[in-house]
Amino acid sequence: MIRYDYQDMMRSRVGSEGVDAADLAALAGRLAQARLALDAQRQEGKLGFFDVPKSRPSLHPMLETLTALPPDVETLVVVGIGGSLLGAQAIHRALVGLAKPRYRHLKVVFAGDAVDPQAWLDFDASIDWQHAAVNVISKSGDTIEPMAIFMLCRERLVKARGAAGAAKRIVATTDAERGTLHDLARREGYATLPVPGNVGGRFSVLTPVAAFPLLAAGIDIEALWAGAAEEAERFWMAPPSENLPMTFASLQYLLYRQGKTVSVLMPYVQRLQLLGAWYRQLWAESLGKKIDRSRKVVNVGPTPIAAQGPADQHSQVQLYNEGPHDKSVTFVEVDREVVDVKLPTPFPDIEGLAYFGGHALGEIVRAERAATSEALTLNRRPNGTWHLPDLSARSVGALLQGLMIATAVAGELFDVNAYDQPGVEAGKRAMYRLLGREGFKQ
Protein backbone atom coordinates (compact mmCIF):
# COMPACT_ATOMS: atom_id res chain seq x y z
CA MET A 1 0.00 0.00 0.00
CA ILE A 2 1.42 3.37 -1.01
CA ARG A 3 1.72 6.15 1.58
CA TYR A 4 1.83 9.94 1.40
CA ASP A 5 3.83 11.75 4.10
CA TYR A 6 2.82 15.41 4.13
CA GLN A 7 3.98 16.56 7.56
CA ASP A 8 6.59 18.88 6.08
CA MET A 9 3.84 20.59 4.10
CA MET A 10 2.26 21.85 7.30
CA ARG A 11 2.64 25.13 9.17
CA SER A 12 3.68 23.21 12.28
CA ARG A 13 6.86 22.18 10.43
CA VAL A 14 7.63 24.99 7.97
CA GLY A 15 6.01 27.96 9.66
CA SER A 16 3.83 30.43 7.83
CA GLU A 17 4.91 29.06 4.43
CA GLY A 18 3.01 25.84 5.13
CA VAL A 19 -0.63 24.84 5.35
CA ASP A 20 -2.53 25.47 8.55
CA ALA A 21 -4.08 22.26 9.90
CA ALA A 22 -7.36 24.09 10.49
CA ASP A 23 -7.50 25.15 6.82
CA LEU A 24 -6.92 21.57 5.71
CA ALA A 25 -9.62 20.27 8.04
CA ALA A 26 -12.00 22.99 6.85
CA LEU A 27 -11.91 21.53 3.33
CA ALA A 28 -13.56 18.27 4.48
CA GLY A 29 -17.02 19.39 3.43
CA ARG A 30 -15.89 20.53 -0.02
CA LEU A 31 -13.98 17.29 -0.47
CA ALA A 32 -17.04 15.24 0.37
CA GLN A 33 -19.00 17.27 -2.19
CA ALA A 34 -16.19 16.79 -4.73
CA ARG A 35 -16.34 13.02 -4.30
CA LEU A 36 -20.10 13.05 -4.77
CA ALA A 37 -19.71 15.18 -7.92
CA LEU A 38 -17.05 12.85 -9.33
CA ASP A 39 -19.19 9.80 -8.57
CA ALA A 40 -22.17 11.41 -10.28
CA GLN A 41 -20.09 12.03 -13.40
CA ARG A 42 -18.81 8.46 -13.26
CA GLN A 43 -22.36 7.11 -12.96
CA GLU A 44 -23.30 9.18 -16.02
CA GLY A 45 -20.69 7.30 -18.03
CA LYS A 46 -18.03 9.98 -17.83
CA LEU A 47 -14.61 9.76 -16.13
CA GLY A 48 -14.06 6.18 -17.25
CA PHE A 49 -10.50 6.16 -15.87
CA PHE A 50 -11.95 5.44 -12.41
CA ASP A 51 -13.33 2.05 -13.49
CA VAL A 52 -10.85 0.81 -16.10
CA PRO A 53 -8.59 -0.99 -13.58
CA LYS A 54 -11.45 -2.86 -11.94
CA SER A 55 -13.38 -3.77 -15.10
CA ARG A 56 -10.28 -4.79 -17.11
CA PRO A 57 -12.27 -5.09 -20.36
CA SER A 58 -9.31 -4.97 -22.70
CA LEU A 59 -7.04 -7.89 -21.76
CA HIS A 60 -8.51 -10.50 -24.11
CA PRO A 61 -8.57 -8.31 -27.27
CA MET A 62 -5.06 -7.07 -26.49
CA LEU A 63 -3.78 -10.64 -26.17
CA GLU A 64 -5.49 -11.63 -29.41
CA THR A 65 -3.94 -8.66 -31.19
CA LEU A 66 -0.49 -9.37 -29.77
CA THR A 67 -0.48 -13.07 -30.67
CA ALA A 68 -1.85 -12.32 -34.17
CA LEU A 69 1.23 -10.32 -35.15
CA PRO A 70 3.45 -12.28 -37.56
CA PRO A 71 5.86 -14.62 -35.76
CA ASP A 72 8.95 -12.86 -37.14
CA VAL A 73 8.09 -9.55 -35.41
CA GLU A 74 10.70 -8.74 -32.78
CA THR A 75 10.24 -4.98 -32.21
CA LEU A 76 7.08 -2.96 -31.58
CA VAL A 77 7.39 0.70 -32.55
CA VAL A 78 4.89 2.75 -30.54
CA VAL A 79 3.85 6.01 -32.19
CA GLY A 80 1.99 8.68 -30.22
CA ILE A 81 2.42 11.95 -28.40
CA GLY A 82 1.41 13.50 -25.08
CA GLY A 83 -1.08 11.38 -23.18
CA SER A 84 -0.88 8.72 -25.87
CA LEU A 85 2.79 8.13 -25.16
CA LEU A 86 3.98 9.55 -21.82
CA GLY A 87 2.19 7.06 -19.58
CA ALA A 88 3.42 4.02 -21.47
CA GLN A 89 6.95 5.43 -21.56
CA ALA A 90 6.94 6.14 -17.83
CA ILE A 91 5.73 2.66 -16.86
CA HIS A 92 7.98 0.96 -19.41
CA ARG A 93 11.01 2.79 -18.01
CA ALA A 94 9.99 1.85 -14.47
CA LEU A 95 9.20 -1.82 -14.96
CA VAL A 96 10.68 -3.27 -18.14
CA GLY A 97 13.85 -4.32 -16.33
CA LEU A 98 11.70 -6.33 -13.92
CA ALA A 99 9.44 -7.89 -16.56
CA LYS A 100 8.72 -11.62 -16.45
CA PRO A 101 6.76 -12.18 -19.65
CA ARG A 102 3.75 -14.50 -19.45
CA TYR A 103 2.76 -13.93 -23.06
CA ARG A 104 4.64 -12.94 -26.19
CA HIS A 105 7.64 -10.69 -25.48
CA LEU A 106 8.72 -7.92 -27.88
CA LYS A 107 11.26 -5.16 -27.69
CA VAL A 108 9.21 -1.95 -27.36
CA VAL A 109 10.52 1.42 -28.56
CA PHE A 110 8.74 4.77 -28.67
CA ALA A 111 8.40 7.37 -31.42
CA GLY A 112 5.87 9.99 -32.50
CA ASP A 113 7.22 13.12 -30.88
CA ALA A 114 10.43 12.90 -32.92
CA VAL A 115 9.28 15.18 -35.74
CA ASP A 116 12.64 16.92 -35.76
CA PRO A 117 14.18 15.62 -39.02
CA GLN A 118 17.46 14.46 -37.49
CA ALA A 119 15.63 12.79 -34.62
CA TRP A 120 13.56 10.81 -37.12
CA LEU A 121 16.62 9.81 -39.16
CA ASP A 122 18.41 8.64 -36.02
CA PHE A 123 15.36 6.64 -34.94
CA ASP A 124 14.83 5.19 -38.40
CA ALA A 125 18.43 3.97 -38.54
CA SER A 126 17.96 2.11 -35.27
CA ILE A 127 15.03 -0.04 -36.43
CA ASP A 128 15.15 -3.33 -38.34
CA TRP A 129 11.95 -2.79 -40.30
CA GLN A 130 11.99 -6.36 -41.64
CA HIS A 131 11.15 -7.56 -38.12
CA ALA A 132 9.13 -4.64 -36.79
CA ALA A 133 5.48 -3.87 -36.14
CA VAL A 134 3.90 -0.47 -35.44
CA ASN A 135 1.31 0.53 -32.85
CA VAL A 136 -0.02 3.97 -33.82
CA ILE A 137 -2.05 5.73 -31.14
CA SER A 138 -4.38 8.65 -31.78
CA LYS A 139 -8.01 8.92 -30.74
CA SER A 140 -8.92 11.08 -33.72
CA GLY A 141 -6.03 10.54 -36.10
CA ASP A 142 -5.82 14.32 -36.55
CA THR A 143 -2.81 15.00 -34.34
CA ILE A 144 -0.08 15.83 -36.82
CA GLU A 145 3.05 14.67 -34.98
CA PRO A 146 2.17 10.98 -34.51
CA MET A 147 0.38 10.74 -37.84
CA ALA A 148 3.36 12.24 -39.69
CA ILE A 149 5.73 9.78 -38.03
CA PHE A 150 3.27 6.95 -38.66
CA MET A 151 3.24 7.75 -42.38
CA LEU A 152 7.03 7.39 -42.38
CA CYS A 153 6.88 4.15 -40.36
CA ARG A 154 4.26 2.73 -42.70
CA GLU A 155 6.42 3.64 -45.68
CA ARG A 156 9.31 1.70 -44.16
CA LEU A 157 7.11 -1.33 -43.47
CA VAL A 158 5.71 -1.30 -47.01
CA LYS A 159 9.23 -1.12 -48.42
CA ALA A 160 10.33 -4.00 -46.19
CA ARG A 161 7.26 -6.25 -46.43
CA GLY A 162 4.95 -4.95 -49.14
CA ALA A 163 1.56 -3.30 -48.62
CA ALA A 164 -0.22 -6.48 -47.50
CA GLY A 165 2.61 -7.49 -45.16
CA ALA A 166 2.76 -4.00 -43.69
CA ALA A 167 -0.97 -4.02 -42.92
CA LYS A 168 -0.53 -7.20 -40.87
CA ARG A 169 2.13 -5.44 -38.81
CA ILE A 170 0.15 -2.32 -37.88
CA VAL A 171 -2.08 -1.93 -34.84
CA ALA A 172 -4.15 1.24 -34.57
CA THR A 173 -5.32 2.31 -31.10
CA THR A 174 -8.04 4.82 -31.87
CA ASP A 175 -11.69 5.76 -31.50
CA ALA A 176 -13.93 2.72 -31.91
CA GLU A 177 -16.44 4.44 -34.18
CA ARG A 178 -15.06 7.43 -36.06
CA GLY A 179 -12.06 9.55 -36.98
CA THR A 180 -9.27 9.73 -39.52
CA LEU A 181 -7.25 6.86 -38.05
CA HIS A 182 -10.34 4.72 -37.49
CA ASP A 183 -11.35 5.15 -41.14
CA LEU A 184 -7.82 4.48 -42.38
CA ALA A 185 -7.56 1.30 -40.29
CA ARG A 186 -10.81 -0.03 -41.71
CA ARG A 187 -9.73 0.76 -45.26
CA GLU A 188 -6.26 -0.77 -44.90
CA GLY A 189 -7.24 -3.71 -42.69
CA TYR A 190 -5.19 -2.83 -39.62
CA ALA A 191 -5.88 -4.50 -36.29
CA THR A 192 -7.53 -2.01 -33.95
CA LEU A 193 -7.82 -1.44 -30.21
CA PRO A 194 -10.25 1.10 -28.73
CA VAL A 195 -9.50 4.34 -26.96
CA PRO A 196 -12.47 4.48 -24.57
CA GLY A 197 -14.73 7.38 -25.42
CA ASN A 198 -15.06 8.41 -21.78
CA VAL A 199 -11.32 8.50 -21.03
CA GLY A 200 -9.24 11.53 -22.02
CA GLY A 201 -5.74 11.05 -23.37
CA ARG A 202 -3.85 12.13 -20.27
CA PHE A 203 -6.04 9.81 -18.13
CA SER A 204 -5.64 6.84 -20.51
CA VAL A 205 -2.53 5.23 -19.02
CA LEU A 206 -4.41 2.09 -17.88
CA THR A 207 -6.41 1.63 -21.10
CA PRO A 208 -5.12 -0.09 -24.28
CA VAL A 209 -3.39 3.21 -25.11
CA ALA A 210 -0.55 2.25 -22.77
CA ALA A 211 -1.57 -1.25 -21.73
CA PHE A 212 -1.02 -2.86 -25.14
CA PRO A 213 2.63 -1.82 -25.57
CA LEU A 214 3.28 -2.64 -21.92
CA LEU A 215 1.76 -6.10 -22.42
CA ALA A 216 3.97 -6.55 -25.49
CA ALA A 217 7.00 -5.64 -23.38
CA GLY A 218 6.18 -8.37 -20.86
CA ILE A 219 5.04 -6.03 -18.07
CA ASP A 220 2.40 -7.43 -15.71
CA ILE A 221 -0.56 -5.30 -16.74
CA GLU A 222 -2.90 -7.28 -14.48
CA ALA A 223 -0.82 -6.35 -11.41
CA LEU A 224 -0.78 -2.73 -12.62
CA TRP A 225 -4.59 -2.78 -12.80
CA ALA A 226 -4.82 -4.47 -9.39
CA GLY A 227 -2.84 -1.73 -7.66
CA ALA A 228 -4.83 0.98 -9.43
CA ALA A 229 -8.15 -0.67 -8.53
CA GLU A 230 -7.14 -0.85 -4.88
CA GLU A 231 -6.25 2.85 -4.85
CA ALA A 232 -9.56 3.78 -6.50
CA GLU A 233 -11.45 1.74 -3.91
CA ARG A 234 -9.59 3.50 -1.10
CA PHE A 235 -10.58 6.85 -2.57
CA TRP A 236 -14.28 5.99 -2.62
CA MET A 237 -14.26 4.53 0.91
CA ALA A 238 -11.76 6.55 3.00
CA PRO A 239 -12.80 9.74 4.83
CA PRO A 240 -11.11 12.95 3.64
CA SER A 241 -8.65 12.97 6.55
CA GLU A 242 -7.34 9.52 5.54
CA ASN A 243 -7.73 9.87 1.78
CA LEU A 244 -4.39 10.19 -0.02
CA PRO A 245 -5.58 11.73 -3.32
CA MET A 246 -7.84 14.14 -1.44
CA THR A 247 -5.01 15.14 0.89
CA PHE A 248 -2.53 15.69 -1.94
CA ALA A 249 -5.03 17.72 -3.99
CA SER A 250 -6.05 19.77 -0.94
CA LEU A 251 -2.50 20.67 0.00
CA GLN A 252 -1.64 21.66 -3.55
CA TYR A 253 -4.80 23.77 -3.75
CA LEU A 254 -4.22 25.52 -0.42
CA LEU A 255 -0.56 26.17 -1.17
CA TYR A 256 -1.51 27.59 -4.57
CA ARG A 257 -3.88 29.98 -2.80
CA GLN A 258 -0.95 31.00 -0.58
CA GLY A 259 1.22 31.84 -3.59
CA LYS A 260 2.93 28.45 -4.02
CA THR A 261 2.07 28.27 -7.71
CA VAL A 262 4.85 25.85 -8.71
CA SER A 263 4.44 22.12 -8.02
CA VAL A 264 7.62 20.03 -8.30
CA LEU A 265 7.53 16.24 -8.59
CA MET A 266 10.94 14.73 -7.81
CA PRO A 267 11.25 10.92 -7.83
CA TYR A 268 14.33 9.54 -6.08
CA VAL A 269 14.22 6.41 -8.23
CA GLN A 270 16.08 6.33 -11.54
CA ARG A 271 13.50 4.07 -13.15
CA LEU A 272 10.73 6.52 -12.25
CA GLN A 273 12.40 9.48 -13.94
CA LEU A 274 9.72 9.70 -16.67
CA LEU A 275 6.95 9.83 -14.07
CA GLY A 276 7.62 13.56 -13.76
CA ALA A 277 6.98 14.14 -17.47
CA TRP A 278 3.68 12.25 -17.24
CA TYR A 279 2.66 14.19 -14.10
CA ARG A 280 3.66 17.47 -15.73
CA GLN A 281 1.20 16.99 -18.58
CA LEU A 282 -1.52 15.61 -16.32
CA TRP A 283 -1.36 18.56 -13.93
CA ALA A 284 -0.74 21.33 -16.49
CA GLU A 285 -3.30 20.37 -19.10
CA SER A 286 -5.98 19.46 -16.56
CA LEU A 287 -5.75 22.45 -14.20
CA GLY A 288 -4.30 25.29 -16.27
CA LYS A 289 -7.53 26.99 -17.33
CA LYS A 290 -8.65 30.46 -18.35
CA ILE A 291 -12.25 30.14 -17.17
CA ASP A 292 -14.04 28.30 -14.39
CA ARG A 293 -17.30 26.39 -14.70
CA SER A 294 -19.35 29.55 -14.31
CA ARG A 295 -17.49 31.00 -17.34
CA LYS A 296 -15.67 33.50 -15.14
CA VAL A 297 -12.12 34.35 -16.22
CA VAL A 298 -9.82 33.00 -13.50
CA ASN A 299 -6.53 32.06 -15.23
CA VAL A 300 -5.65 29.40 -12.65
CA GLY A 301 -3.33 26.43 -12.54
CA PRO A 302 -0.22 25.27 -10.71
CA THR A 303 2.91 25.10 -12.85
CA PRO A 304 4.25 21.52 -12.65
CA ILE A 305 7.99 20.88 -12.75
CA ALA A 306 9.56 17.48 -13.44
CA ALA A 307 12.75 17.00 -11.43
CA GLN A 308 14.90 13.93 -10.75
CA GLY A 309 16.69 13.04 -7.54
CA PRO A 310 19.45 12.88 -6.69
CA ALA A 311 20.77 14.50 -9.90
CA ASP A 312 18.73 17.67 -9.49
CA GLN A 313 20.04 18.21 -5.98
CA HIS A 314 23.00 19.61 -7.91
CA SER A 315 21.02 21.71 -10.38
CA GLN A 316 17.62 22.80 -9.02
CA VAL A 317 17.56 22.36 -5.24
CA GLN A 318 19.58 25.56 -4.72
CA LEU A 319 16.65 27.44 -6.25
CA TYR A 320 14.10 25.45 -4.25
CA ASN A 321 15.92 26.18 -0.99
CA GLU A 322 16.80 29.84 -1.41
CA GLY A 323 14.77 31.18 -4.31
CA PRO A 324 11.23 32.59 -4.29
CA HIS A 325 8.74 31.07 -1.84
CA ASP A 326 6.53 29.95 -4.72
CA LYS A 327 7.08 26.18 -4.77
CA SER A 328 6.12 22.95 -3.10
CA VAL A 329 8.20 19.83 -3.68
CA THR A 330 6.84 16.29 -3.80
CA PHE A 331 9.32 13.42 -3.62
CA VAL A 332 8.72 9.81 -4.67
CA GLU A 333 10.65 7.13 -2.80
CA VAL A 334 10.73 3.34 -2.91
CA ASP A 335 11.00 1.88 0.58
CA ARG A 336 12.38 -1.51 -0.37
CA GLU A 337 14.79 -2.26 -3.23
CA VAL A 338 14.32 -5.30 -5.44
CA VAL A 339 18.11 -5.54 -5.54
CA ASP A 340 20.82 -3.47 -3.89
CA VAL A 341 24.58 -3.02 -4.15
CA LYS A 342 26.89 -2.72 -1.15
CA LEU A 343 29.88 -0.41 -1.52
CA PRO A 344 33.43 -1.59 -0.75
CA THR A 345 35.78 0.18 1.67
CA PRO A 346 39.17 0.09 -0.08
CA PHE A 347 40.51 3.27 1.57
CA PRO A 348 39.57 3.20 5.28
CA ASP A 349 42.22 5.84 6.06
CA ILE A 350 40.62 8.48 3.78
CA GLU A 351 37.63 9.88 5.68
CA GLY A 352 36.10 11.46 2.54
CA LEU A 353 35.72 7.93 1.13
CA ALA A 354 35.58 5.73 4.22
CA TYR A 355 32.37 7.15 5.74
CA PHE A 356 30.10 5.71 3.04
CA GLY A 357 31.98 2.43 2.64
CA GLY A 358 29.84 -0.55 3.59
CA HIS A 359 26.59 1.28 2.89
CA ALA A 360 24.31 0.17 0.05
CA LEU A 361 23.43 2.35 -2.94
CA GLY A 362 19.74 2.23 -2.05
CA GLU A 363 20.54 3.39 1.47
CA ILE A 364 22.54 6.32 0.07
CA VAL A 365 19.71 7.40 -2.25
CA ARG A 366 17.17 7.29 0.59
CA ALA A 367 19.55 9.30 2.78
CA GLU A 368 19.90 11.89 0.01
CA ARG A 369 16.13 12.22 -0.28
CA ALA A 370 15.76 12.58 3.50
CA ALA A 371 18.56 15.15 3.61
CA THR A 372 17.00 17.20 0.80
CA SER A 373 13.67 17.13 2.60
CA GLU A 374 15.35 18.19 5.85
CA ALA A 375 17.11 21.10 4.16
CA LEU A 376 13.89 22.28 2.52
CA THR A 377 12.04 22.06 5.83
CA LEU A 378 14.74 24.07 7.63
CA ASN A 379 14.38 26.72 4.93
CA ARG A 380 10.59 26.75 5.42
CA ARG A 381 9.89 25.15 2.03
CA PRO A 382 6.83 22.84 1.96
CA ASN A 383 7.63 19.30 0.83
CA GLY A 384 6.01 15.87 0.99
CA THR A 385 6.81 12.32 -0.10
CA TRP A 386 4.92 9.53 -1.83
CA HIS A 387 6.26 6.21 -0.54
CA LEU A 388 6.01 3.06 -2.66
CA PRO A 389 6.54 -0.16 -0.71
CA ASP A 390 8.54 -1.50 -3.65
CA LEU A 391 9.10 -0.91 -7.34
CA SER A 392 6.45 -3.24 -8.73
CA ALA A 393 3.59 -3.07 -11.19
CA ARG A 394 1.10 -3.08 -8.34
CA SER A 395 2.75 -0.12 -6.57
CA VAL A 396 3.22 1.89 -9.77
CA GLY A 397 -0.41 1.28 -10.76
CA ALA A 398 -1.57 2.54 -7.37
CA LEU A 399 0.54 5.70 -7.60
CA LEU A 400 -0.61 6.56 -11.13
CA GLN A 401 -4.25 6.05 -10.23
CA GLY A 402 -3.80 8.08 -7.06
CA LEU A 403 -2.31 11.01 -8.98
CA MET A 404 -5.06 10.89 -11.61
CA ILE A 405 -7.72 10.91 -8.90
CA ALA A 406 -5.93 13.76 -7.13
CA THR A 407 -6.03 15.72 -10.38
CA ALA A 408 -9.79 15.16 -10.67
CA VAL A 409 -10.27 16.29 -7.06
CA ALA A 410 -8.11 19.37 -7.67
CA GLY A 411 -10.30 20.21 -10.66
CA GLU A 412 -13.30 20.25 -8.34
CA LEU A 413 -11.51 22.47 -5.81
CA PHE A 414 -10.40 24.92 -8.50
CA ASP A 415 -13.88 24.64 -10.08
CA VAL A 416 -12.51 24.07 -13.58
CA ASN A 417 -13.09 21.46 -16.27
CA ALA A 418 -10.12 19.17 -15.77
CA TYR A 419 -10.84 17.14 -18.92
CA ASP A 420 -10.63 19.62 -21.80
CA GLN A 421 -7.69 21.52 -23.31
CA PRO A 422 -8.96 24.52 -25.31
CA GLY A 423 -5.55 26.19 -25.19
CA VAL A 424 -4.04 23.22 -27.01
CA GLU A 425 -6.82 23.13 -29.59
CA ALA A 426 -6.21 26.80 -30.47
CA GLY A 427 -2.62 25.94 -31.36
CA LYS A 428 -3.74 22.97 -33.45
CA ARG A 429 -6.09 25.15 -35.48
CA ALA A 430 -3.32 27.67 -36.13
CA MET A 431 -0.99 24.86 -37.22
CA TYR A 432 -3.62 23.45 -39.62
CA ARG A 433 -3.94 26.92 -41.15
CA LEU A 434 -0.18 27.36 -41.54
CA LEU A 435 0.10 24.00 -43.31
CA GLY A 436 -2.85 24.71 -45.59
CA ARG A 437 -5.37 22.16 -44.33
CA GLU A 438 -8.73 22.47 -46.08
CA GLY A 439 -11.23 24.43 -43.97
CA PHE A 440 -8.53 26.19 -41.93
CA LYS A 441 -7.06 28.52 -44.58
CA GLN A 442 -7.27 32.28 -44.20
Residues with catalytic annotation? 285, 314, 428
Q: Which residues contact 406 (CB under 8 A, 6 or more apart)?
A: 244, 245, 246, 248, 249, 252
Q: Which residues contact 200 (CB under 8 A, 6 or more apart)?
A: 49, 83, 419
Q: Is 76 exposed, middle or buried (0-12, 13-18, 19+ CB in 10 A)?
A: buried
Q: Which residues contact 405 (CB under 8 A, 6 or more apart)?
A: 50, 231, 232, 235, 245
Neighbours of 190 (CB within 10 A): 22
Q: Give the side-chain half-sphere CA count within 13 A for 252.
A: 30
DSSP state of 342: B
The residue type of 133 is: A
What secondary structure does DSSP assign to 372-437, as a single string?
A: HHHHHHHTT--EEEEEEEESSHHHHHHHHHHHHHHHHHHHHHHTS-TT--HHHHHHHHHHHHHTT-
